[in-house]
Structure 1
Amino acid sequence: MTSPPTVSLATAQRSLGDPGRRYPLWPPLTGGCPATSTEEVSYPVEVEYAYDQVPAGLFEARPGRGGLDRWAPLLPPLAAPGLGEGGTPLVELEPGVFVKDESRNPTWSHKDRLNRCTVGAALGCGAPGVVVASSGNHGASAAAFAARAGLRCVVLTGTALPPAVDAFLHAYGAVVLPVPVEARWPLTRRIADRFGLHPVSNLTPQAHTGHAFGAEGYKTVAYELHAELGVPAAVFVPTGYGELLFGIHKGFAELRRLGVTERVPRLIACEPATGGPLTAALRQGLPATWVEVGPTEAYGINCPVGGYRGVVAVRESGGRSVLVTDEQARAAQAELGRAGLWAELSAAVGLAGLRAAPREEFDGPVVCVSTSAGFKDQGAGRGPREAPVAEWEAARARLLAAGLRE
Structure 2
Amino acid sequence: MPASASLAIAQRSLGDPDIRYPLWPPLLKGCPRTSSDAMSYPVEVEYDHTRVPADFLSGTGAGFGFGTGAGLDRWSALLPPLLAPTLGEGGTPLIDIGGGVFIKDESRNPTWSHKDRLNRCTVSAALGVDAPGIVVASSGNHGASAAAYAARAGLRCVVLGSAELPPAVASFLTAYGAVVLPVPVEHRWPLTERIVDHFGFFPVSNLTPFHTGSSFGPEGYKTVAYEIAAEVGVPGAVFVPTGYGELLFGIGKGFAELRQLGLTDRVPPLYSCEPAAGGPLATAVRRKVPGAQVPVGATDAYGIDCPVNSYRGVLALERSGGRPLLVDDAQLRAAQEELAAQGLWSELSAAAGLAGLRSAAPEVEGPVVCVTTSSGFQDIGVGARTLAPVDPSWESVLDRLTAAGIGPA
Q: Which residue of structure 2 lines up, in the alignment, with residue 388 of structure 1?
A: 390
Q: How does 1:96-107 map to 2 (within 5 A)?
A: 96-107=100-111
Q: Deviations over 1:124-147 (max 9, x none)?
A: 100000001113100000000000
Distance in 1 (CA, whole Å) between partners of 2:204 and 2:329 is: 29
Q: Which residue of structure 1 lines up, in the alignment, with residue 201 of structure 2?
A: 197
For residue 222 of structure 1, what is the amino acid of its counterpart?
A
Distance in 2 (CA, whole Å) between partners of 1:208 and 1:268 is: 19
- Please give the secondary structure, in 2, of the residue aligned with 1:14: strand
Q: Which residue of structure 2 lines up, in the alignment, with residue 348 of structure 1?
A: 351
Q: How does 1:4-403 map to 2 (within 5 A)?
A: 7-61=5-59, 66-204=70-208, 206-359=209-362, 361-403=363-405
Q: CA deviation at 1:64?
A: 11
Q: Which is further off, 7-16 or 184-193?
A: 184-193
Q: CA deviation at 1:350?
A: 0.8
Unaligned runs of 5+ in 1: none
Distance 1:6 1:232, change over 3 A: farther
- Please give the secondary structure, in 2, of the residue aligned with 1:72: helix
Q: CA deviation at 1:160?
A: 2.2
Contact 1:162 1:377 in 2 (8 A): no
Distance in 2 (CA, whole Å) between partners of 1:28 and 1:142 is: 17
Contact 1:115 1:141 in 2 (8 A): yes
CA RMSD in angstroms comes to 1.4
For residue 233 of structure 1, what is the amino acid of its counterpart?
G
Distance 1:133 1:351, change over 3 A: same
Q: CA deviation at 1:188?
A: 0.7
Q: CA deviation at 1:240?
A: 0.2
Between the aligned residues of both structures, percent identity stands at 68
For residue 365 of structure 1, what is the amino acid of its counterpart?
P
For residue 383 of structure 1, what is the amino acid of its counterpart?
R
Aligned length: 400
Q: Deviations over 1:171-227 (max 9, x none)?
A: 1000111122222221111111111000111011x2000110000000000000000
Distance in 1 (CA, whole Å) between partners of 2:59 and 2:335 is: 32
Distance 1:356 1:48, change over 3 A: same
Contact 2:4 2:81 in 1 (8 A): no
Distance in 2 (CA, whole Å) between partners of 1:348 and 1:162 is: 21
Contact 2:4 2:83 in 1 (8 A): no
TM-score by length of 2: 0.96
- Please give the secondary structure, in 2, of the residue aligned with 1:237: strand
Unaligned runs of 5+ in 2: 61-66
- Please give the secondary structure, in 1, of the residue aligned with 2:369: strand
Q: Which residue of structure 1 lines up, in the alignment, with residue 64 of structure 2?
A: none
Q: Deviations over 1:62-90 (max 9, x none)?
A: 69982000000100000000000000000
Q: CA deviation at 1:276?
A: 0.3
TM-score by length of 1: 0.96
Distance 1:218 1:376, change over 3 A: same
Q: CA deviation at 1:266?
A: 0.6
Distance in 2 (CA, whole Å) between partners of 1:42 and 1:399 is: 57
Contact 2:284 2:314 in 1 (8 A): yes
Q: Deviations over 1:73-126 (max 9, x none)?
A: 100000000000000000001131000000000000000000000000100100
Q: CA deviation at 1:344?
A: 0.4
- Please give the secondary structure, in 1, of the residue aligned with 2:360: coil
Q: CA deviation at 1:381?
A: 2.1
Distance in 1 (CA, whole Å) between partners of 2:183 and 2:15 is: 31
For residue 263 of structure 1, what is the amino acid of its counterpart?
R
Contact 1:6 1:70 in 2 (8 A): no
Contact 2:139 2:169 in 1 (8 A): no
